[in-house]
Amino acid sequence: MSHHIVEVRNLRHVYPDGTIALRDISFRITHGESVAIIGANGAGKSTLLLHLNGFLSPTAGEIRIGDYPLTKATLPDIRRTVGMVFQDPDDQLFMPTVYDDVAFGPLNLGFPGTEVEQRVKDALEKVGAGHLQDKPPYNLSGGEKKRVAIATVLSMSPDILVMDEPTDGLDPYARRRLMSLLRDFSHTKIFTSHDLDMVLELCSRVIILHEGEVKADGPALEIFRNEELLARCRLEKPLSMQGCPVCGGKG
């Protein structure tokens, strides 16, 4: 299904104050791929993500989701296709209860009541949060919030999942749990993260952004072995690939 393809061609974005956030970005992500976009702070990751859902419009260049170019007319359809999970779940959970929040998307898409109910149930089940449905969002823990935030997007059955820093602020257990959840998704996945170990485990492909440009695009292992490249882009190897500081063993 070509629905799952994300293609960015010569994307350039200049903010109104003159800051050049993206210089010239091109890549193509195909069906079922799991891709991490990494880079130092201010490399342009967030700006790039905001383009994939049409929140920012390119200064130059083009974005195609599936068969459609991203334009005003295709926007509603593309926003359903691309499920975006924000970094801070408090931004995403704005309804009085978890149930209402997960139902927000499907109701806006105009599904009938019974179908909405089924979708909410399925989505919450999938992230293991069925028991939370009547709780208000502020009563949830960080890990629960994150999983519910993912459910709010899953209930619209998107083809592509875009997540900004999915493991940010989670404790080790919640992080593990989230990772195994994400591993099971068959969607095309695009992450941004500083959690390079998570990237190594979940993503087969890595795109490095540096000062608004794509500095590298290739298999995760290959890129993480290139120490010179990583250092140039203010990154480093995932911890699991570094030598053990205690026993001195090589990674």
Partner 1 sequence: MASIDGALLDFKRLDRLATGDTPIHHLDPRAKVLATLVFIVTVVSFGKYEVTALVPFFLFPVVMIALGNLPVSYIIKKIALLCPFALVVGMFNPIFDREVLVQIGSLGITGGWISFASIVMRSILTVGAAIVLVGVTGFPGVCLALERIGMPRVFAVQLLFLYRYIFVLTDEGSRMERARKLRAFGKKMEPGIFSSLVGHLLLRTWQRAERIHMAMLARGFTGEFHTRQNMRFGGKEMLFLFGWSTLFIIMRFLNLSQLVGSLVTGILP
- Contact residues for partner 1, defined by CB under 8 A: 50, 53, 55, 76, 79-80, 82-84, 86, 88, 90-92, 94-97, 99-100, 103-105, 107-109, 113, 134, 136-139, 152-153, 156
Dist CA 124 CA 25 (whole Å): 36
Minimum Å gap between C-beta 99 and partner 1 is 7
Q: Who's near 98: CB < 8 A, 6+ residues apart? A: 124, 129, 132, 133, 134, 135, 136, 137, 140, 148
Shorter beta-carbon distance to partner 1: residue 89 or 212 = 89
- Shortest Å distance, C-beta 153 to partner 1: 7
Residue of 246, 224, 241 whose CA lies nearest to 233: 224
- Least distance in angstroms from the C-beta of 135 to partner 1: 9
Question: Which of 103/179 has CB closer to partner 1?
Answer: 103
Kindly tell me which of 113 and 128 has the beta carbon lying closer to partner 1. 113
Indicate the residue among 78 and 216 with the shorter CB distance to partner 1: 78
Least distance to partner 1, CB of residue 90, Å: 5
For the CB of residue 38, give the shortest distance to partner 1 in the complex, in Å: 22
Burial 11-42, CB ≥16 within 10 A → b, else e: bebeeeeeeebbbebebebebebbbbbbbeee
Report the residue number, 88 or 197, with the smaller CB distance to partner 1.
88
DSSP 71-140: -TTTHHHHHHHEEEE-SSHHHH--SSSHHHHHHHHHHHTT--HHHHHHHHHHHHHHTT-GGGTTS-GGGS
